[in-house]
Amino acid sequence: MKKIALIGIGKMGMSHLAIANQTPGLEVVAICDNSKQLLRFVEKNTKFTGYTDYKKMIKEISLDGIMILVPNAFHFELVKYCIENGIHVFVEKPFTLNYKDSELLVGLAKNLRVKGQVGYVNRYNPIFQRVKKLLDQSVIGEISNYINSMTGGVILQENSKGWRNDFSKGGGCLFDYGPHCFDLSTYFFGADVKVQSAVLKKVFSTAVDDIVYATLLHKNSVIGFNYVNWSDNSVRKATNNIEIFGSKGKILASKQELSIYLNETNRDLKLEKGWNQIYVTDENTDVPYYLRGEDFSRQLLEFSDLLNDKIEEPTASLFSASITDRIIEEIKNLNKSIL
């Protein structure tokens, strides 16, 4: 059983706390947050020790791992401190707000033999994992292109205040929604990727973007159009959809379902010529504790495996997350005149 602590007990932090507390192989022993009122409540009603100073917590308690669930702008500082103190880390996305910082942390973790994982939950979705397997098996042949989109209704009126309207704090559609979209692209098509073109568009925000259009080229062969929009009033909940075109057919996928069109029957996988349908309920969705979706539980099961030396590298690694940070930085640099 590996002892862990959580830093940042906000909306995501509370969800992760509940899941981590029910994850085999993990024992939550402490939490850290700057809200003294919250800590008093937690300490009164749970077994966890509360801290307002993460450095003091790390000094006083022997920890195997720490989950960093603070606002984006503080990721680099906290991850770096944990790595320097030999503590394995799970950090929510995005990894950092600066590619050079991410690159530094990847090297530091490697040199100090510290393991790390980033909260790119799409990589733990059963449908997207099935898509990855199908692509690795070349079920639709040689991939030529794809269309990847993520939409939601976050900013739906004029916005000029708060962290969501500030790039330096991780605001903007590019930094908030964009990471999930671009990480899914690199998960499927590889980290050898270049930004070919990109446009950021304001709709309601005054200092950041609300819509992202970006074309990525993977391995100099697969071209992908990525569309991200957090100002879509027609979408109740954030939605990911991807359409992938290959020489033998195509794939349409969301978190809930997968459609496979094949030019010819694939007898080995029992897939018919034409359309084949797979739903998330057809996949293995068993988890020890369900909250927000099995994806969130599955990623913490892997963090447990990482800490307990069952695996050496997680599906959502520090390196893969740093590539997403590079993509975001390149897109932003291409649009300095617009923003």
Give the pLDDT of residue 31: 95
Q: Which tokens is 75 given?
A: 């990721």
Q: Are residues 101 and 132 in the same domain?
A: no
Determine the structural domain holding residue 102 and report its residue range.
Answer: 2-120+301-317
> Is 295 a domain residue?
no
Q: Which residues of 151-182 are buried (b: 16+ CB within 10 A; e: fewer)?
A: bbebbeeebeeebbbbbebbbbbbbbbbbbbb
> Is 24 a domain residue?
yes
> Is 296 a domain residue?
no
Residue numbers of the chain with a pLDDT score lower than 70: 338-339
Give the pLDDT of residue 178: 96
Give the pLDDT of residue 339: 65
Q: Are residues 196 and 166 in the same domain?
A: yes
pTM of full prediction above 0.85: yes
Instruction: Quickly count helices (H) and strands (E) in the chain.
Output: 10, 14
The model's pLDDT over 17-27, given as tens digits with 9 standing for 90+, comes to: 999 999 999 99
Q: Are residues 224 and 152 in the same domain?
A: yes
Q: Are residues 137 and 200 in the same domain?
A: yes
Q: Are residues 157 and 73 in the same domain?
A: no
- How many domains in the chain? 2
Q: Are residues 112 and 196 in the same domain?
A: no
The model's pLDDT over 184-209, given as tens digits with 9 standing for 90+, comes to: 999 999 999 999 999 999 999 999 99
Q: Are residues 147 and 200 in the same domain?
A: yes
CB under 8 Å to 173, separation ≥6 — which residues?
Answer: 154, 155, 200, 208, 209, 210, 211, 212, 228, 229, 230, 231
Q: Are residues 186 and 215 in the same domain?
A: yes
Q: Are residues 101 and 181 in the same domain?
A: no
Q: Are residues 95 and 129 in the same domain?
A: no
Give the pLDDT of residue 47: 86
Beta 26-32 vs 193-201: how paired, if at all? unpaired
Q: Are residues 84 and 164 in the same domain?
A: no
Query: Could you tell me how far CA 193 lies from the centroid of its own chain?
Result: 18
| CATH number of domain containing 42 | 3.40.50.720
